[in-house]
């Protein structure tokens, strides 16, 4: 593998954002008043989880699909470990002086296996869809119109992510109308965040391409997700 100055730093930042969004984000559901729309209710993590897709766009655009694939698998492993660690901590018997705090620990970290599985599966599938679409669009556009693949890949990836997560986690528990409303709301918020951050993504991509002397095109890439080869 070619050595890069910032690839490892981006990998670490990506995993950090992913873990924080999945562990801290679900701890609170917020309702805000939006002009012309009214009240919008969402999980707080929706404000930060889309940053992982920005990282995915940057990694694929600069370093290529295969190197982003390694990062996605790193994030997947981190989420699995965090889920196992949370389950162990919740089920360990509390000390006598800690018993009053145990309900709070269970409330914050005691997600059901169904929700944990939904989160991990949705992240894995959505991230690979995002990276695949961006890599293919880069070939089709011959590297032009970066904004089209940044936004286009996110619309595809977030659609898969939101659809899978809420379907797996809450189908049969929520009314169909409520499930659809929350899914669409989360999808729109995540996608809008990506559009809003497009100028920042442009600057970071330009900086990395110039500094790393890399602008990868996935013309001969094996797009299987089941590999760590770069």
- Using alpha carbons only, give the angle 66, 67, 71 rounded to the nearest 5 degrees: 115
In the prediction, which pLDDT does 199 show? 94
Sequence-ordered alpha helix ranges (H) in the chain: 7-23, 50-63, 65-91, 102-109, 113-141, 146-170, 176-196, 198-212
Domains annotated on the chain, with CATH: 7-212 (1.10.1760)
pLDDT digits (tens, 9 = 90+) for 119-155: 999 999 999 999 999 999 999 999 999 999 999 999 9
In the prediction, which pLDDT does 209 show? 97
Token digits of residue 131: 């990276």
In the prediction, which pLDDT does 109 show? 83
In the prediction, which pLDDT does 1 show? 65
Residues of the chain with pLDDT under 50: none
Exposure string for 54-93, b = 16+ CB within 10 A, e = fewer: bbbbbbbbbbbbbbbbbbbbbbbebbeebbeebeeebeee
In the prediction, which pLDDT does 135 show? 98
């Amino acid at each position: 593998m070619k050595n890069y100055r910032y690839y490892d730093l981006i990998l670490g930042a990506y995993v950090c954002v992913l873990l924080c969004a999945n562990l801290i984000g679900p701890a609170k559901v917020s309702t805000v008043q939006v002009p012309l729309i009214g009240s919008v209710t969402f999980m707080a993590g929706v404000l930060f989880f889309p940053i992982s897709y920005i990282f995915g766009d940057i990694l694929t655009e600069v370093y290529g699909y295969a190197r982003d694939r390694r990062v996605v698998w790193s994030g997947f492993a981190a989420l699995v470990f965090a889920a196992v660690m949370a389950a162990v901590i919740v089920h360990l018997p509390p000390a006598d002086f800690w018993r009053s705090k145990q309900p709070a620990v269970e409330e914050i970290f005691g997600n059901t296996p169904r929700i944990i599985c939904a989160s991990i599966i949705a992240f894995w599938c959505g991230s690979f869809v995002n990276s695949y679409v961006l890599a293919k669009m880069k070939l089709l556009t011959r590297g032009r119109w970066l904004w089209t693949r940044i936004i286009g890949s996110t619309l595809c990836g977030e659609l898969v992510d939101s659809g899978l997560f809420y379907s797996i986690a809450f189908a049969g528990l929520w009314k169909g109308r409520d499930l659809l409303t929350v899914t669409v709301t989360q999808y729109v918020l995540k996608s809008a965040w990506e559009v809003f951050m497009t100028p920042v993504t442009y600057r970071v991509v330009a900086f990395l391409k110039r500094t790393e002397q890399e602008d990868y095109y996935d013309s001969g890439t094996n797009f299987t997700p089941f590999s760590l080869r770069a």
